[in-house]
Chains A and B, each alone.
Chain A
Amino acid sequence: MRSGLAALGFAAACAIAPSAAQAQDAQVHDPWEGFNRKMFALNDTLDHAIFAPVARGYRAIMPRPVRRGVVNFLNNLRSPVVFVNDVLQGDAHQAGTTVARFGINSTIGLLGVLDPATNMGLARRDEDFGQTLGRWGSHPGPYLFLPVIGPTNVRDGFGSLVDLAIDPINWADYDGRTAVVVGRGALNAVSTREGLLDANDQMRRTSLDPYVSVRSGYSLLRESAVNNGETQDITPLQDIPDAEPDVTSPENVTPPTPAPDSVTSATPSIDNSAAPNDHPSLNNIQSSSSPVNLGVG
């Protein structure tokens, strides 16, 4: 126990101390790349053999609305953890939203299977202790990839352990707790992997190096999560180079770019009456109750 606490303390210290590399360069700090790439390859093997086939089977058996209901249910179960982190971040407004969402979805939403709160304007925002540490000024620390768990970093890995400790499902005294904890973990893993099937396939087609793309995607998403999706992380205009005038290609020489109105001939009708059942695959990347996991596949 004592050594476990010491390890946690060390992890937190690593996360809070900014590295020299991060101070000079916006690239992801990955001093354990050799180890991480081996774990990434191992994860690939496991994924091809087990995780992806199970996820495809789950998709084949379960209709989309049911899968959506599972995601909603798992998200709702995580609300106490989100609420604690809202409070720790000093965000009373979002804490209120989380409480309201939990109350509405647990009652009108049939134990969280439905998500009427979103339709009432109470958008879900996920929070975890890794984000809380980020809000408190902690840097991510070294990047880490672990089989099954996927991409993380020292700060977020430590945060996940704290979230496990916060979650009442893991420590409350009730019958069948072990079965509930294990069952939720398994359902969460399958649901998360199913949500990533298309995005993962697409990433593998377009990426020069999937290990790097997963690392980049994870890091940017976590940075955005710490900033609560606001645009502090957008590249400042002064850091974007102007296109140099002597870069000429045939399409730049003739003809010149048409005026915006001449580019299109028609704007299709806007139909928002479609049933709001599910997002495309890319949107499922963060739809589970676990931290972002882009590493499967």
Chain B
Amino acid sequence: MTTPSLTRTTFLTALFGAGMLATAPNAFAARDPAAETYVQQNASQALQTLGNRGVSGAERRRLFDVLMRQFSDMDRIALFVLGRYSTQLRADPALRQQWVNTFKDYAVAVYEDQLTAYSGSNIRVTGSTERIPGRDIVVNSEITPRGQRPLPVQWRLLRSGDAWKVFDVSLIFEGGNQIWLAQAQQLDFLSQLDQNHGDIRGLIARVQETTAALRQHASAANGR
């Protein structure tokens, strides 16, 4: 007659044990307070800027543009997303310049489109993990839109001169899986370039079209 009691006890013990194991912290992750502060301050500023209704839409976009170009290592990302095709740019500085400027405009427009949904949200940095001390670090954060659950976001920072700069951003989905956006962008651009026989000028034209459409959408959404 004691079997049911034992079964319950075993079950509850197993449940408790599983819970304790699952919540055990990782005690070995190295953190970098400077990188964490950098993300906290600049990401907060970006979200605040997008939520600032006290300025015109054009001024808001200008401020956001300036901030994102400072916060992110756009030059490096622009080369990375071209993958193996970036070697073409070494021989053609004018094309390189044109590509980098086109990509920066596109990236800022995409950031604006994606982050507008979170404008005015709070961001809280929750930690960081050094991949290569002083050179490569992943900062963990949570963005909490009003009335909703925190959305985990990771920021990969690389050292650029004397400062950290954001190289990639990862969205972490429910279930724990994630997408690094620069990697996804690289796959998209490589596919385009494979299709057009590596014609970077052709890619530039497509990217500029998309950027113009994004700007038009943003202006319409702002009603000004």
Interface residues of A (CB under 8 A from B): 27-28, 93-94, 96-97, 99-100, 103-104, 120-126, 198, 202, 205-209, 212-213, 215-217, 219-222, 224-225, 228-229, 231, 233-235, 237, 240-244, 246-249, 251-252, 257-261, 263-272, 274-287, 292
Contacts and interface: CB of A to CB of B under 8 A. Distances in A.
Contacts, number: 251
B173 to A, nearest CB: 4
Contact of A212 (B18, B40, B135, B191): B191
B188 A231 contact: no
Contact of B210 (A208, A248, A265, A282): A208
Given A121-B23, A252-B75, A280-B118, A263 B41 contact: yes
Given A237-B136, A243-B75, A100 B15 contact: yes
A243 B171 contact: no
Contact of B42 (A216, A260, A278): A260
A243 B73 contact: yes
A85 to B, nearest CB: 12
B17 A272 contact: no
Interface in B102-134: 104, 109-110, 113-114, 117-118, 122-124, 131-132
B135 A282 contact: no
Interface residues of B, number: 95
A269 B44 CA distance: 10
A231 to B, nearest CB: 7
Given A28-B187, A246-B93, A267-B41, A274 B148 contact: yes
Contacts of A259: 163
Interface in B63-90: 66-67, 69-71, 73, 75-76, 78-80, 86, 90
A212 B188 CA distance: 6
B177 A217 contact: no
Interface string B180-224: 101110011111101000000000001100100110010000000
Nearest to A71: B174
B53 interface: no
B15 A126 contact: no
